[in-house]
């Protein structure tokens, strides 16, 4: 895979150059519990860029080949403190809030590998690369592959669990999966509602 890298430093230039590709890459991550939410969209990142990061250096690293944009890594460097130790962290722009996002690479470890290598060699002034991924999501799978390739070590700073129940698309399938006694209780409850 022959990918070329370019860096965009201005939100308006970013809007013109990659907004459509950004949306396409977010859509590739899928919907639902393992997919991205609105915090991964271009509009969310652009709003954060203007509202909270104005004047701070930003880098939108774009990987593309002859077919078009294959990956986008929008990042910034900020000063943080962990246990009283101050360090500079490289993080994605969308990571200001703890929502469901990750890497805009469509699940490709090759693209993610190149973007991280470029950030490592061409963005100076940071000590740690801090990011968020959804466990078992495409970004998480790609990241684990990159870590394995380079024999790196990941440190989990925080981990959130959000229990959920996967329901079939059809309510009839839900009802068929219940025990007869439970189905009767649900139907009785429905009648009381009306």
| CB of 74 closer than 8 Å to CB of 45 | yes
What is the pLDDT at residue 125?
A: 86
Confidence of residue 147 (pLDDT cuts 50, 70, 90): very high
Is residue 33 domain-shared with residue 73, that is, in the same domain?
yes
Q: Which pLDDT band holds residue 148 (cuts at 50, 70, 90)?
A: very high
The residue assigned the tokens 């399938």 is 173
Specify the number of domains making up the chain.
2
The residue behind tokens 């470029």 is 118
Largest CA distance in the chain: 66
Please give the Cα distance from 116 to 119 (Å, whole number). Answer: 5
Domain at 66, CATH number: 3.40.630.30
Pair 193, 126 in one domain:
no
Tell me what pLDDT residue 16 has: 92
User: pLDDT band at 55, cuts 50/70/90?
Assistant: low
Same domain, 131 and 184: no
Q: How many residues does the chain have?
A: 194
Q: Which two tokens stand for residue 188?
A: 């009785």
Domain span including residue 13: 4-158
Same domain, 81 and 176: no
Against a cut of 0.85, is the pTM above it? no
| Residue 113 · residue 94 · CB < 8 Å | no
Average pLDDT over residues 143-156: 90
């Amino acid at each position: 895979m022959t990918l070329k890298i370019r860096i965009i430093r201005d939100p308006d230039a970013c809007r013109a150059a990659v907004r459509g590709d950004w949306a396409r890459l977010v859509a590739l991550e899928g919907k639902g519990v393992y997919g991205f939410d609105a915090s991964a969209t271009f509009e969310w990142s652009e709003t954060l860029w203007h509202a909270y990061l104005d004047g701070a250096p930003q880098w939108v690293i774009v990987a593309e080949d002859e077919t078009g944009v294959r990956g986008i890594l929008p990042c910034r460097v900020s000063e943080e403190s962990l246990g009283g130790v101050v360090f500079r962290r490289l993080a994605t722009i969308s990571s200001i809030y703890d929502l469901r996002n990750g890497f805009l690479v469509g699940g490709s470890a090759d693209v993610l590998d190149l973007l991280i290598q470029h950030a490592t060699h061409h963005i100076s002034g940071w000590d740690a690369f801090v990011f968020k991924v959804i466990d078992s999501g495409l970004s998480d799978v790609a990241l684990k592959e990159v870590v394995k390739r380079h024999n790196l070590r990941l440190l989990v700073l925080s981990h959130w669990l959000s229990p959920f129940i996967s329901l079939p698309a059809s309510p009839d399938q839900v009802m068929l999966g219940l025990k007869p006694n439970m189905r009767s209780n649900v139907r009785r409850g429905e009648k009381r509602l009306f």
